Chain A
């Protein structure tokens, strides 16, 4: 339990610092790379929570796919690199208030619900195989629906990109 707490502390610090740097840095590519650190840290936290599959998905989808989209988004636009651009919009205090509010509500409701409740550390560990059993029994139809969803997204992307 102690080791877990130490690792949690290290990872949480990495995530928090990277998140802060991500919104304060003046270089957009640096911001993207800080985001990678945030997402990787979260992935490690999922491992600590023994959510193996979620951690794998985090790495594959977020660090893989979402970051590719971010970097493509940066590369396809004419966003100037370096510190030339004032990255922070003028409405940042408003955004900060909204973020603080959302964070406050979330923390409050979670603390209110779970408070000092201690999680059972000896509880069952859900391995990837268990997730697979769920997908192939309870969620078999959504699973197939996801392929159609992805197909629709693909057609959409091609339709929109082709004539440009």
Chain B
């Protein structure tokens, strides 16, 4: 197993430990707690008020723009990551290139803001 994979093994072990710990806590709680279900107890907790209607509501279409914005800047992040690992090597060249890249996308954000799609009505 190579050096690289060995370093990722740590990530894997960490993940397994996290899952095991959460699982253990839930299991122990299940064993220790008394179980006397009543219909009232099975109602979904809605800050102390009885829930009204079904558990499924259609969302507003306007949130879609936020989803799209998230996707765009997520993709932007994909390009910033590798750039960040080599930041010093590229010097001014890298800085300028990344500035152009980010500028064009920020222009899009600016446009969205000016057009009022970011307003939370």
Contact = CB atoms under 8 A, between A and B. Distances in A.
Q: Are any A and B Cβ atoms less than 8 Å apart in their complex?
A: yes
A153 B100 contact: no
Contact of A129 (B68, B85, B104): B85
A68 B67 contact: yes
B72 interface: yes
B83 A135 contact: yes
B105 A147 contact: yes
Contact of A72 (B12, B59, B104, B105): B59
Contact of A132 (B82, B101, B107): B82
Contacts of A131: 82
Contacts of B85: 127-129, 132
A161 B62 contact: yes
Contacts of B58: 75-78
B108 A150 contact: yes
B68 A157 contact: yes
B78 interface: yes
Contacts of B64: 72, 76, 157, 161
Contacts, number: 134
Interface string A1-14: 10110010000000
B65 interface: yes
21 contacts: A48-B5, A56-B78, A60-B74, A64-B74, A68-B70, A127-B4, A128-B85, A132-B83, A133-B86, A135-B79, A136-B97, A143-B97, A144-B101, A150-B75, A151-B107, A153-B68, A154-B105, A155-B108, A157-B68, A158-B65, A161-B117
Interface of B: 1-2, 4-5, 8, 12, 55-56, 58-59, 61-65, 67-72, 74-79, 81-83, 85-86, 90, 93-94, 97, 100-102, 104-105, 107-108, 111-112, 115, 117
Given A121-B2, A148-B104, A150-B105, 19 more contacts: A3-B1, A57-B78, A61-B75, A66-B71, A68-B71, A75-B59, A76-B58, A128-B82, A129-B82, A132-B83, A136-B90, A144-B100, A144-B104, A147-B105, A150-B76, A154-B111, A154-B112, A158-B65, A162-B117
Interface of A: 1, 3-4, 7, 47-48, 50, 52-53, 56-57, 60-61, 64-66, 68-69, 72, 75-78, 80-81, 121, 125, 127-129, 131-133, 135-136, 140, 143-144, 146-148, 150-151, 153-155, 157-158, 161-162, 164
